[in-house]
Structure 1
Amino acid sequence: MEEMSRLFRLAADRASGYRQSLPDRLVGTPFDQGALADAFAGPLPSVPSPPEQVLTDLLAAAEPGLVASAGPRYFGFVIGGALPAATAADMLAAGWDQNAHNAVTSPAAIAAEAAAGAWLKELLGIPPSASAGFVTGCQAANTVGLAAARHQVLADVGWDVERRGLLGAPPIRVIAGDERHATIDRSLRLLGLGMDVVEPVPAGPNGAIDLGSLREVLRAGSPGPTIVCLQSGNVNTGACDQLREACELVHRHGGWVHVDGAFGLWAAASPATRHLVDGLELADSWACDGHKWLNLPYDSAFAFCARLDVHAAAMSYAAAYLVGSGGTPAGADLTAESSRRARGFAVWAGLRELGRDGVAELVDRCCALARRFAEGLTSAGFEVANEVVLNQVLVDFGDDASTDRMVAAVQADGTCWVGGTTWRGRRLMRISVSNATTTEADVDRSIAAITRLAT
């Protein structure tokens, strides 16, 4: 037992030291992928190794290739950090080694998910009667939401897709914006509907779906099973679809509304930005990440459905050996996983650490810092290509080649980390502000670095 205590203390100390170093370390450090591969490679030992030596070797092999994405100046891919209490809870979850399949395999894990799920729905304005499945990311959350949609729109016309599959099923219309996230298309592939089923709807000037065009697409098709995918938080611009008007329109046509709100759904948690997602409670399913703007450890996301029975019908299964199944759906009944990490502990701890006011302050601060980025880069003579409505900033450095060179230069410099994207046919620098530890000083330091590199 003493050996295990030393091992766990070593892991905690090194993890804590790494996290404390993030404000000062280079964000993107040069690395040699070949050297990293060699450090991990080699023959599998034929005899057991002492655990402490294994951990020491892992630290030596991995640390040269770590990216400071948990730090305050990482602005790529809408990646947040991980709150202290949530991180510690995740360490406990690993130590407890719980299987969160159901309340028999881990009563505590299911209870934590139930409590955290209720808090999440309250913060996001999702009806309290909705279900909440704890999944790995918005790829999984979108897949669960669209599986529930597929179940219900086919059940409405008398087809049991879980039993009969899609061969011979009535065709399903899937309508989605031109600027939907790519995970929507992959979910459609995984669900057997395919990407070609999508009827695209043009987006407005800042990337939100155009309501007039949505109305025309709905009218143009033949009546029948219909799923419409809306978005809260355009992956490039942060723009949010007009959910109230769109949901009412879709429901008049008998369709199911799924909202991909990977990061933008968190606008609902702040009075200052709640108007951007007005009407979200009218949707039928929602997807949202925890490891982005809520700053929870990987992997953490949520699949919500307005109807628990539909959610469970699409995702659950039964078997004679599964003791505890058949009650109120929870845990694995609401996800595509059977053996599940107890990720609800970290969600519960992160929400307790922040509280309602802390979540709202986090959203407001990141939005303010994104505006600070936009104002500072505009003052430096660069063009901000989008209306900054949330935490996303797009910057143009004159032409595609110049922009790509700037993105590469910033990543190599290490002061901060930004990504590149293509939006409306232009190569742009993409800045996402979603880390709870980012300060005005971090933004100003990053603006200064970008300006220096451009000069």
Structure 2
Amino acid sequence: MTPHNDETALLADADRRALKYLDSLPRRPVFPAQQAIAGLKALDQPFREQGIAAKEVLRLLDDIASPATVSSNGSRYFGFVIGATLPAAAAAERLVLAWDQCASSFDNSPAIDRIERIAGHWVLDALGLPRNSAVGFGTSATACTLACLSAARRSLLARKDWDFDGDGLIGAPEIRVVVSASVHITVKKALRVLGFGMNRLVIAPVDEHGRIDPLQLPALDDMTILCLQAGEVNTGEFDPFGTLIPKAKAAGAWVHVDGAFGLWARASSSAELVEGVELADSWTTDGHKWLNTPYDGAMAICRDADALATAMNSDAAYATASKDAQKNLTLEFSRRARGIPIWAALASLGREGLRQMIDNHIRQASHLAECLRAAGYQVLNRVVLNQVLVRADTDQQTTAIRLAAQASGQVWFGPTVWQGRPAFRLSISSWRTTDADIKLLADLLIRLKQEITD
């Protein structure tokens, strides 16, 4: 066979194995068995002097690693707000891999440059955010938050005539950062990487739902970054944007919204939950959560497009590009075409399909909560979104039920702590999840509660 034929046969084999894996999802344990995990040792071999055939590399991956994967691309995974990948997004990802483009600028790939621009416009349209905002397609909400907060810091310092690019931070006017008491760890990580000491963050008290209490909002000024949340990680609740953001804007503060999954409620019939969020200065959201695109796809969105473009600029003498090229909006210089699967997902869903998918998950979460309450579980949140926060009669029962559910292989969800006590969190965000899957989850939890309390 020629090298071309070898490559074609190898890729065809990969597609065959991938389709076989997808077909197996309904029959696979959601979390792999210990035997499969132990089998991964077979891959832990010394680095070879001579390589092995590519078809053998693929066989090893499939035969040994596939059984040890988590079925998060299936219908019964309820942990960490992980959506399965929509078929159009998965197919687009395969095609993008064949293109093998450096998606930094128009010169690297005219096709990707144009499609990612369209994807950015569609994201702003779907989320109802200012149409002239910059949209950078980055790796994660963490990386995109870092980009947005970098733009925020640089902009606030420029108001004080401080040249951040030239003089850095030594001797610079201090910027205060106000975060929610329930701030997500990825925001704290981005702040820490940027040099905002954790001990210097100003903490805004929250109410019983995990939302910032406007009456206890710390003082803000024109050297403050206020970080808000669209979708608190446990309760799914939203900070009261309509009250908080006008206060912040009146003080001259920069408002950033962490909307990793909750921002997509803007595209649903429950958009009133996120009313006022469009008044912020920057936002982050993920595609690989509620939009159901492949992992490694998130968005940094900035109202002041020039602020993000200037903060992230990476032009060099040998590689200049327009200020809004993706390499000038994100952390990465050489980058994958992360916006293409997002374009494909939005193209395949349309406005109505996107609304229906999110509405369906919100409905399923509400129904699940009703079933669990009727069975004697404590549902600790109001279930306004896709998160169901649950506790049994005692902390010991809560932990035992979670572990038993995980061990069953039928579903998977993880632990959390709410108001100082153990709980578990059920996240519904996969396009594959049917009402039958919700019934299976509810029936399993009801049965386990009966068995453990008897």
Which secondary structure state, in structure 2, belongs to the residue aligned with residue 259 of structure 1? Answer: strand
**1:35 aligns to 2:35 (yes or no):** no
What is residue 218 of structure 1 aligned with on the other side?
Answer: 219
1:56-455 equivalent positions in 2, closer than 5 A: 56-214=59-217, 217-218=218-219, 223-270=221-268, 272-322=269-319, 324-325=320-321, 327-454=322-449, 455=451
Shift of 1:437: 1.0
How far apart, CA to CA, are the structure 2 residues paired with 1:300 and 1:20?
Answer: 25
Contact kept? 1:93, 1:343, Cα under 8 Å: no
When structure 1 is superposed on structure 2, of 233-242 and 393-402 the one drifting more is 393-402
Contact kept? 1:395, 1:429, Cα under 8 Å: yes
How far apart, CA to CA, are the structure 1 residues paired with 2:71 and 2:40?
Answer: 19
TM superposition score normalised by structure 1: 0.96
Contact kept? 2:113, 2:325, Cα under 8 Å: yes
Kindly provide the amino acid, as one letter, of the partner of residue 74 in structure 1: Y
Residues 24, 61 of structure 1: alpha-carbon distance in 2 compared, 3 angstrom cutoff: closer
Which secondary structure state, in structure 2, belongs to the residue aligned with residue 175 of structure 1? Answer: strand
Per-residue Cα deviation, 1:295-322 (whole angstroms, up to 9, x for no partner): 0011110000001110011111221111
How far apart, CA to CA, are the structure 2 residues paired with 1:398 and 1:164?
Answer: 57
How far apart, CA to CA, are the structure 2 residues paired with 1:408 and 1:162?
Answer: 51
Shift of 1:275: 0.5
Shift of 1:95: 1.4
Contact kept? 1:166, 1:192, Cα under 8 Å: no
Shift of 1:399: 2.1
Shift of 1:72: 0.7
Which secondary structure state, in structure 2, belongs to the residue aligned with residue 442 of structure 1? Answer: helix
How far apart, CA to CA, are the structure 1 residues paired with 2:200 and 2:97?
Answer: 41
Kindly provide the amino acid, as one letter, of the partner of residue 100 in structure 1: A
How far apart, CA to CA, are the structure 2 residues paired with 1:63 and 1:24?
Answer: 13
Contact kept? 1:228, 1:257, Cα under 8 Å: yes
Which secondary structure state, in structure 2, belongs to the residue aligned with residue 29 of structure 1? Answer: coil
Residues 29, 64 of structure 1: alpha-carbon distance in 2 compared, 3 angstrom cutoff: same
TM superposition score normalised by structure 2: 0.96
Shift of 1:193: 1.6
Per-residue Cα deviation, 1:229-248 (whole angstroms, up to 9, x for no partner): 00000000000111122111
Which secondary structure state, in structure 2, belongs to the residue aligned with residue 54 of structure 1? Answer: helix
Contact kept? 1:186, 1:195, Cα under 8 Å: no
How far apart, CA to CA, are the structure 2 residues paired with 1:256 and 1:224?
Answer: 8
Per-residue Cα deviation, 1:89-122 (whole angstroms, up to 9, x for no partner): 1011111111111111111111111001100000
**1:5 aligns to 2:1 (yes or no):** no
Contact kept? 1:173, 1:227, Cα under 8 Å: yes
Shift of 1:343: 1.5
In the alignment, structure 2 segments of 5+ residues that lack a partner are none
Kindly provide the amino acid, as one letter, of the partner of residue 254 in structure 1: G
Which secondary structure state, in structure 2, belongs to the residue aligned with residue 22 of structure 1? Answer: helix
Shift of 1:224: 4.7
In the alignment, structure 1 segments of 5+ residues that lack a partner are none
Following superposition, which runs of at least 4 residues in structure 1 exceed 4 angstroms of deviation?
A: none
How far apart, CA to CA, are the structure 1 residues paired with 2:34 and 2:296?
Answer: 25
Which secondary structure state, in structure 2, belongs to the residue aligned with residue 49 of structure 1? Answer: coil
Kindly provide the amino acid, as one letter, of the partner of residue 15 in structure 1: A
How far apart, CA to CA, are the structure 1 residues paired with 2:199 and 2:331?
Answer: 24
Q: How many residues align?
A: 447
Identity of aligned residues (%): 43
Shift of 1:391: 0.2
How far apart, CA to CA, are the structure 1 residues paired with 2:109 and 2:403?
Answer: 47
RMSD of aligned Cα (Å): 1.3
Contact kept? 1:125, 1:280, Cα under 8 Å: no
Kindly provide the amino acid, as one letter, of the partner of residue 199 in structure 2: D
Contact kept? 2:283, 2:302, Cα under 8 Å: yes
Shift of 1:192: 1.3
Per-residue Cα deviation, 1:370-424 (whole angstroms, up to 9, x for no partner): 0111011111111101110000001111222221111111111111111110011
Kindly provide the amino acid, as one letter, of the partner of residue 313 in structure 1: T
Which secondary structure state, in structure 2, belongs to the residue aligned with residue 430 of structure 1? Answer: strand
Per-residue Cα deviation, 1:256-315 (whole angstroms, up to 9, x for no partner): 000000000001001x21111111111000000000000001111000000111001111
How far apart, CA to CA, are the structure 1 residues paired with 2:37 and 2:342?
Answer: 36
How far apart, CA to CA, are the structure 1 residues paired with 2:165 and 2:39?
Answer: 45
How far apart, CA to CA, are the structure 1 residues paired with 2:90 and 2:51?
Answer: 30
How far apart, CA to CA, are the structure 2 residues paired with 1:190 and 1:253?
Answer: 26
Per-residue Cα deviation, 1:123-165 (whole angstroms, up to 9, x for no partner): 0011110000001111111111111111111111111222211
Per-residue Cα deviation, 1:172-191 (whole angstroms, up to 9, x for no partner): 11001100101111111111
How far apart, CA to CA, are the structure 2 residues paired with 1:116 and 1:332?
Answer: 16
